[in-house]
Amino acid sequence: MKYLRSHSCPSWSRYDKGVVGKRKLLKILLSFFVLFPQFILAQEKYSFDLSEIEKEIEKKPYSISGYVEFRPTFYWLDDDAAFYNPDFYDRSNRSRLDEYNFGLLLDASYEKGIGGFFLRTYIDAVESEIESDAEAKIFEGYMSLKPSPFFTVDLGKKTLNWGKGYAWNPVGFLQRPKNPEDPNLPREGFIVASADYIKSFNGPLQTVTITPVLIPVHEDINDDFGEINHVNFAGKLYLLFYDTDIDFMFLTEGSKTSRLGVDFSRNITTNFEIHGEFAFINSFEKKFVDSNGNLFDETFDAKSYLVGIRYLTPFDTTFICEYYRNGTGFTTNEMENFYAFVDKDYDISLTSDDDSLLRNAASFAEESYSKRNPMQDYLYLRISQKEPFDILYFTPSITWIYNLNDE
């Protein structure tokens, strides 16, 4: 057998040695990759085609988004409340009101080069036993021109969000008021011409932004902003100073009386933020009635302010607490006079079967007294929990609004 192995099969020995050598080489390579796996990763890292990736992440010039909303609301009515009689005088013995709200919001934008167009439309429908209505509005629709990263010009219908408060914004001179029960609801803007100029610095003052705004008010343009046939001028100066956001804003006299404002926001820690606002309104006119229904008006300089905190716990629970001083609101005595006026009209309507006085009271209430938070001092607390029990896109919350004047 030795003879046959060495002479009859001379290639067997060379083959055996070759296999052993290859096995040794394979073991060495496997050991190297086990000990140094980053070498494989490094080789794979440089195998990407960057041009293909850039094509994938290249920003598209257009964007379309939106949502459909169904929001049922159930009210339990207090028939001893002052507003019950003027609101439900022709619907007796009503203790509950069910309301169904439908909303459709559409956001669309197109940006190319230094220009862009932005559109936000909202269709709102309400169905209840006392109201059935639907309307479609353009909340925002404006053109934007950005010739440089530091300068932008906008023209059209736009929502300007001034102020740092969550539920209220005393310095929101150019915006419709929020609904404190749901401050994140979209709001309709005004037709404006505005610009933003941004400048950055090294040092305690890091950023400065100047925002001038023009607001025309005519018969069919922004006619619900104030007195018509005026072109109003407003502006805001933003500062990022020592990591504190600060705004100074103003509105010149025209459709409304002149007013000045300032706000701030600062993170004390990563999870704890404080904010505040202060507004001075020159020559504000307030209309009110006495217990007999006599109409009065008073002109004075009003001061409104807000202070608040926002805290996020390690468990993703958010606390928002705010105190709001409404300097344009009604005093406790003024509200009591209005309540007495309504009660008298209600008693007269019962005895005379004439509800004209109650209709007048309801009309006046809608104009002045039944606005959200019509009095002077309010506390706001909102507690929300993000995705409890790992339920995605679910954030339950509790909101509490307390009137300090009448408790």
Number of domains in the chain: 1
| Helix (H) and strand (E) counts in the chain | 7, 15
The DSSP result for 270-319, as a single string, is: TTEEEEEEEEEEEEEEEEEE-TT--EEEEEEEEEEEEEEEEEE-TTSEEE
Q: Are 208 and 239 in contact (CB under 8 A)?
A: yes
- Angle among Cα 172, 245, 275 to the nearest 5 degrees reads 65
Q: Is residue 397 situated within a structural domain?
A: yes
Q: Is residue 160 situated within a structural domain?
A: yes
* 99-134 CB burial, b ≥16 within 10 A, e <16: eeeebebebeeebeeeebebbbbbebebeeeeeeee
Burial of 255 (0-12, 13-18, 19+ CB in 10 A): buried
- Give the pLDDT of residue 10: 39
Tell me the torsion sign for CA atoms 28, 32, 33, 39: negative
What's the CATH code of the domain at 190?
Answer: 2.40.160.10
How many angstroms separate the Cα of 241 from the Cα of each of 6, 16, 248, 249, 325?
Answer: 91, 78, 13, 16, 26
The pTM (predicted TM-score) of the whole model is 0.80
Tokens coding 311: 């805290």
Q: Domain range spanning residue 92?
A: 59-403
HSE value, Cβ hemisphere, 13 Å, CA-based, for 30: 6
Q: pLDDT of the chain along its 407 residues, tens only?
A: 333 333 333 333 343 444 445 455 445 444 544 444 444 444 444 445 555 555 545 678 999 999 999 989 998 888 877 777 777 766 667 788 899 999 999 999 999 999 999 999 999 999 998 889 999 999 999 999 999 999 999 999 999 999 999 999 999 999 999 999 889 888 999 999 999 999 999 999 999 999 999 999 999 999 999 999 999 999 999 999 999 999 999 999 999 999 999 999 999 999 999 999 999 999 999 988 888 888 889 999 999 999 999 999 999 999 999 999 999 999 999 999 988 888 887 777 767 766 676 677 777 777 778 788 999 999 999 999 999 998 998 999 999 999 999 88
Q: Is residue 26 situated within a structural domain?
A: no
From the list 325, 334, 287, the residue with the least C-alpha distance to 303 is 325
Q: Is residue 25 situated within a structural domain?
A: no
Q: Can you tell me which residue has the tokens 């379309």? A: 64
HSE value, Cβ hemisphere, 13 Å, CA-based, for 309: 8
- Give the pLDDT of residue 31: 52
Q: Is residue 357 situated within a structural domain?
A: yes
Q: Is residue 7 situated within a structural domain?
A: no
